[in-house]
Protein backbone atom coordinates (compact mmCIF):
# COMPACT_ATOMS: atom_id res chain seq x y z
CA UNK A 1 0.00 0.00 0.00
CA UNK A 2 2.83 2.39 0.87
CA UNK A 3 4.59 1.75 -2.46
CA UNK A 4 1.38 2.18 -4.35
CA UNK A 5 0.80 5.58 -2.75
CA UNK A 6 4.41 6.58 -3.35
CA UNK A 7 4.23 5.70 -7.03
CA UNK A 8 0.91 7.51 -7.32
CA UNK A 9 2.41 10.61 -5.69
CA UNK A 10 5.47 10.53 -7.93
CA UNK A 11 3.45 10.14 -11.11
CA UNK A 12 1.21 12.96 -9.98
CA UNK A 13 4.20 15.26 -9.54
CA UNK A 14 5.69 14.24 -12.90
CA UNK A 15 2.39 14.72 -14.70
CA UNK A 16 1.78 18.13 -13.16
CA UNK A 17 5.19 19.24 -14.37
CA UNK A 18 4.87 17.71 -17.82
CA UNK A 19 1.14 18.26 -18.25
CA UNK A 20 1.36 21.66 -19.89
CA UNK A 21 3.84 20.36 -22.41
CA UNK A 22 2.06 17.22 -23.51
CA UNK A 23 0.31 19.12 -26.27
CA UNK A 24 3.61 20.45 -27.54
CA UNK A 25 5.35 18.60 -30.30
CA UNK A 26 8.75 17.36 -29.23
CA UNK A 27 10.33 17.88 -32.59
CA UNK A 28 12.18 20.85 -33.95
CA UNK A 29 15.35 22.16 -32.44
CA UNK A 30 16.03 23.13 -28.85
CA UNK A 31 15.18 26.76 -29.52
CA UNK A 32 11.78 25.97 -31.00
CA UNK A 33 10.96 23.79 -28.02
CA UNK A 34 12.11 26.47 -25.55
CA UNK A 35 9.85 29.02 -27.19
CA UNK A 36 6.79 26.81 -27.66
CA UNK A 37 7.02 25.75 -24.00
CA UNK A 38 6.87 29.38 -22.94
CA UNK A 39 4.10 30.32 -25.36
CA UNK A 40 1.97 27.56 -23.88
CA UNK A 41 1.50 29.72 -20.78
CA UNK A 42 -0.14 32.60 -22.66
CA UNK A 43 -3.83 33.00 -21.67
CA UNK A 44 -5.67 30.77 -24.14
CA UNK A 45 -8.79 32.93 -24.44
CA UNK A 46 -6.88 35.71 -26.15
CA UNK A 47 -3.69 34.22 -27.49
CA UNK A 48 -3.80 31.57 -30.21
CA UNK A 49 -0.49 29.81 -30.78
CA UNK A 50 0.64 27.78 -33.78
CA UNK A 51 4.08 26.21 -33.63
CA UNK A 52 5.88 25.04 -36.75
CA UNK A 53 3.48 26.45 -39.34
CA UNK A 54 4.11 25.39 -42.93
CA UNK A 55 2.21 27.30 -45.63
CA UNK A 56 2.29 27.34 -49.40
CA UNK A 57 3.61 30.71 -50.53
CA UNK A 58 3.90 29.94 -54.24
CA UNK A 59 2.94 26.90 -56.33
CA UNK A 60 6.43 25.47 -55.83
CA UNK A 61 7.52 27.12 -52.59
CA UNK A 62 6.59 26.79 -48.97
CA UNK A 63 7.36 28.88 -45.93
CA UNK A 64 8.10 27.35 -42.54
CA UNK A 65 7.37 29.64 -39.62
CA UNK A 66 8.60 28.65 -36.17
CA UNK A 67 5.81 30.25 -34.13
CA UNK A 68 2.78 32.41 -34.78
CA UNK A 69 0.76 33.98 -31.96
CA UNK A 70 -2.53 35.49 -33.08
CA UNK A 71 -4.00 37.91 -30.53
CA UNK A 72 -6.05 41.10 -30.32
CA UNK A 73 -2.69 42.84 -29.91
CA UNK A 74 -1.40 41.77 -33.28
CA UNK A 75 0.03 38.70 -34.95
CA UNK A 76 3.44 37.86 -33.52
CA UNK A 77 5.65 36.05 -36.01
CA UNK A 78 8.58 34.48 -34.20
CA UNK A 79 11.78 33.19 -35.77
CA UNK A 80 13.91 31.16 -33.37
CA UNK A 81 17.69 31.04 -33.65
CA UNK A 82 19.55 28.52 -31.53
CA UNK A 83 22.87 30.30 -32.04
CA UNK A 84 25.24 31.35 -29.26
CA UNK A 85 28.25 33.66 -29.15
CA UNK A 86 28.62 37.30 -30.15
CA UNK A 87 26.00 38.17 -32.73
CA UNK A 88 26.58 41.08 -35.08
CA UNK A 89 24.12 42.38 -37.66
CA UNK A 90 21.93 45.20 -38.90
CA UNK A 91 18.47 45.52 -40.47
CA UNK A 92 19.84 45.66 -43.98
CA UNK A 93 22.93 43.42 -44.04
CA UNK A 94 22.13 40.27 -46.01
CA UNK A 95 23.94 38.08 -43.49
CA UNK A 96 24.66 38.22 -39.79
CA UNK A 97 27.81 37.01 -38.08
CA UNK A 98 28.39 34.94 -35.03
CA UNK A 99 31.85 35.28 -33.43
CA UNK A 100 32.80 32.58 -31.02
CA UNK A 101 36.43 31.67 -30.54
CA UNK A 102 37.41 30.19 -33.90
CA UNK A 103 33.87 29.10 -34.70
CA UNK A 104 32.71 32.08 -36.70
CA UNK A 105 29.50 31.63 -38.58
CA UNK A 106 27.62 33.60 -41.19
CA UNK A 107 23.87 33.13 -41.41
CA UNK A 108 20.98 34.70 -43.29
CA UNK A 109 19.76 37.96 -41.74
CA UNK A 110 16.90 36.61 -39.58
CA UNK A 111 14.95 39.88 -39.81
CA UNK A 112 14.85 39.59 -43.60
CA UNK A 113 14.10 35.88 -43.31
CA UNK A 114 11.21 36.62 -40.97
CA UNK A 115 10.00 39.41 -43.25
CA UNK A 116 9.56 36.87 -46.06
CA UNK A 117 7.44 34.84 -43.61
CA UNK A 118 5.36 37.91 -42.77
CA UNK A 119 4.92 38.66 -46.48
CA UNK A 120 3.73 35.09 -47.07
CA UNK A 121 1.31 35.37 -44.13
CA UNK A 122 -0.10 38.73 -45.17
CA UNK A 123 -0.74 37.29 -48.63
CA UNK A 124 -2.76 34.33 -47.35
CA UNK A 125 -4.53 36.56 -44.79
CA UNK A 126 -5.35 39.34 -47.28
CA UNK A 127 -9.08 39.10 -46.53
CA UNK A 128 -8.53 40.22 -42.91
CA UNK A 129 -8.35 44.01 -42.83
CA UNK A 130 -6.84 44.24 -39.35
CA UNK A 131 -4.12 41.62 -39.70
CA UNK A 132 -1.02 43.42 -38.44
CA UNK A 133 2.28 41.71 -37.78
CA UNK A 134 5.02 42.07 -35.21
CA UNK A 135 8.36 40.49 -36.08
CA UNK A 136 10.20 38.80 -33.21
CA UNK A 137 13.61 37.13 -33.47
CA UNK A 138 14.26 34.87 -30.50
CA UNK A 139 17.88 33.94 -29.82
CA UNK A 140 19.40 31.50 -27.38
CA UNK A 141 20.07 33.14 -23.99
CA UNK A 142 23.71 32.19 -24.67
CA UNK A 143 23.86 34.73 -27.50
CA UNK A 144 25.37 38.13 -26.81
CA UNK A 145 23.29 40.34 -29.06
CA UNK A 146 25.39 43.18 -30.46
CA UNK A 147 22.99 44.07 -33.25
CA UNK A 148 21.76 47.39 -34.57
CA UNK A 149 18.16 46.95 -35.56
CA UNK A 150 14.98 48.98 -35.61
CA UNK A 151 12.55 46.99 -37.76
CA UNK A 152 12.19 43.90 -35.61
CA UNK A 153 12.34 42.86 -31.98
CA UNK A 154 15.49 40.84 -31.36
CA UNK A 155 15.74 39.26 -27.92
CA UNK A 156 16.58 36.21 -25.87
CA UNK A 157 13.89 33.55 -26.13
CA UNK A 158 13.48 33.85 -22.37
CA UNK A 159 11.98 37.31 -22.89
CA UNK A 160 9.48 36.50 -25.64
CA UNK A 161 6.62 35.56 -23.30
CA UNK A 162 6.69 38.84 -21.37
CA UNK A 163 7.34 40.84 -24.50
CA UNK A 164 4.07 39.55 -25.96
CA UNK A 165 2.17 40.11 -22.71
CA UNK A 166 3.40 43.70 -22.56
CA UNK A 167 1.80 44.57 -25.92
CA UNK A 168 -1.55 46.00 -24.85
CA UNK A 169 -2.69 48.06 -27.81
CA UNK A 170 -5.80 46.31 -29.22
CA UNK A 171 -5.68 46.28 -33.04
CA UNK A 172 -7.56 43.11 -34.02
CA UNK A 173 -11.10 42.39 -32.74
CA UNK A 174 -11.04 39.12 -30.80
CA UNK A 175 -13.49 37.50 -33.22
CA UNK A 176 -11.27 38.35 -36.19
CA UNK A 177 -8.21 37.06 -34.35
CA UNK A 178 -10.01 33.74 -33.86
CA UNK A 179 -10.91 33.63 -37.56
CA UNK A 180 -7.31 34.34 -38.53
CA UNK A 181 -6.14 31.54 -36.26
CA UNK A 182 -8.63 29.06 -37.72
CA UNK A 183 -7.66 30.15 -41.21
CA UNK A 184 -4.00 29.45 -40.52
CA UNK A 185 -4.84 26.05 -39.03
CA UNK A 186 -6.61 25.16 -42.28
CA UNK A 187 -3.67 26.36 -44.37
CA UNK A 188 -1.08 24.51 -42.27
CA UNK A 189 0.45 21.72 -44.35
CA UNK A 190 0.50 18.57 -42.27
CA UNK A 191 1.81 16.01 -44.74
CA UNK A 192 5.18 14.45 -44.04
CA UNK A 193 6.11 14.50 -47.73
CA UNK A 194 5.58 18.24 -48.07
CA UNK A 195 7.53 18.89 -44.90
CA UNK A 196 10.41 16.79 -46.18
CA UNK A 197 10.39 18.76 -49.43
CA UNK A 198 10.58 22.03 -47.53
CA UNK A 199 13.53 20.77 -45.49
CA UNK A 200 15.35 19.87 -48.72
CA UNK A 201 14.55 23.28 -50.19
CA UNK A 202 16.04 24.99 -47.13
CA UNK A 203 19.09 22.73 -47.12
CA UNK A 204 19.72 23.57 -50.78
CA UNK A 205 19.69 27.31 -50.06
CA UNK A 206 22.18 26.85 -47.22
CA UNK A 207 24.44 24.69 -49.41
CA UNK A 208 24.32 27.25 -52.16
CA UNK A 209 25.43 30.00 -49.80
CA UNK A 210 28.15 27.83 -48.28
CA UNK A 211 29.57 26.97 -51.69
CA UNK A 212 29.49 30.69 -52.57
CA UNK A 213 31.49 31.37 -49.39
CA UNK A 214 34.08 28.67 -50.08
CA UNK A 215 34.62 29.64 -53.75
CA UNK A 216 35.00 33.30 -52.77
CA UNK A 217 37.54 32.48 -50.07
CA UNK A 218 39.42 30.16 -52.45
CA UNK A 219 39.67 33.09 -54.89
CA UNK A 220 40.82 35.44 -52.14
CA UNK A 221 37.58 37.39 -52.31
CA UNK A 222 35.26 38.49 -49.50
CA UNK A 223 32.02 36.46 -49.82
CA UNK A 224 29.99 39.38 -48.54
CA UNK A 225 31.11 42.35 -50.62
CA UNK A 226 33.58 40.97 -53.16
CA UNK A 227 36.52 42.90 -51.70
CA UNK A 228 39.96 41.33 -51.38
CA UNK A 229 40.87 39.20 -48.39
CA UNK A 230 43.99 40.45 -46.63
CA UNK A 231 46.08 38.58 -44.09
CA UNK A 232 46.10 40.38 -40.77
CA UNK A 233 47.56 39.71 -37.36
CA UNK A 234 45.33 40.00 -34.34
CA UNK A 235 45.42 39.24 -30.63
CA UNK A 236 44.66 35.57 -31.27
CA UNK A 237 46.96 35.02 -34.24
CA UNK A 238 46.65 35.50 -37.98
CA UNK A 239 43.36 35.83 -39.77
CA UNK A 240 42.00 37.07 -43.08
CA UNK A 241 39.94 40.23 -43.17
CA UNK A 242 38.13 42.15 -45.91
CA UNK A 243 40.00 45.00 -47.61
CA UNK A 244 36.85 47.12 -47.26
CA UNK A 245 37.15 47.17 -43.47
CA UNK A 246 35.66 49.00 -41.54
CA UNK A 247 32.73 49.14 -44.01
CA UNK A 248 32.72 45.35 -44.21
CA UNK A 249 33.75 43.40 -41.12
CA UNK A 250 34.04 40.00 -42.73
CA UNK A 251 36.80 37.78 -41.34
CA UNK A 252 37.71 34.14 -41.73
Q: Which residues bind Zn ion (CB under 5 A)?
A: 222, 224-225, 227, 242, 244, 248, 250
End-to-end CA gap in the chain? 66
Q: Output 182 or 215, the one with its CB closest to Zn ion.
A: 215
Alpha-carbon span 88 to 67, nearest angstrom: 23
Residue 89 C-beta: closest distance to Zn ion, Å: 15
Considering the complex, state which of residue 96 and residue 157 has its C-beta at the smaller distance from Zn ion: 96
Measure the CA–CA gap between 73 and 161, rounded to whole angstroms.
14
Q: How far is the CB of 217 from Zn ion (least distance, A)?
A: 11
Q: Please say which residue, 187 or 230, places its beta carbon nearer to Zn ion.
A: 230
CA distance 20 to 38: 10
Give the nearest distance from C-beta 22 to Zn ion in angstroms: 49
Smallest distance from Zn ion to CB 248, Å: 3
CB 95 within 8 A of CB 108: yes
Give Cβ neighbours of residue 50 (< 8 Å, ≥ 6 apart): 67, 68, 70, 181, 184, 185, 188
Residue with smaller CB distance to Zn ion, 83 or 225: 225
Amino acid sequence: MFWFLLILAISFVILSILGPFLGTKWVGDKGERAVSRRLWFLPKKKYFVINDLLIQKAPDRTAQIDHVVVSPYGIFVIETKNIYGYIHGTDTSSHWQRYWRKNNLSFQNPIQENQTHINALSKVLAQFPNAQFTSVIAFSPRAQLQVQVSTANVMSWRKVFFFILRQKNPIIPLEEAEQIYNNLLTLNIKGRQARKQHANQAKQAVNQYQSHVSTSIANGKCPRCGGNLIKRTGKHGDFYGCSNYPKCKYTC
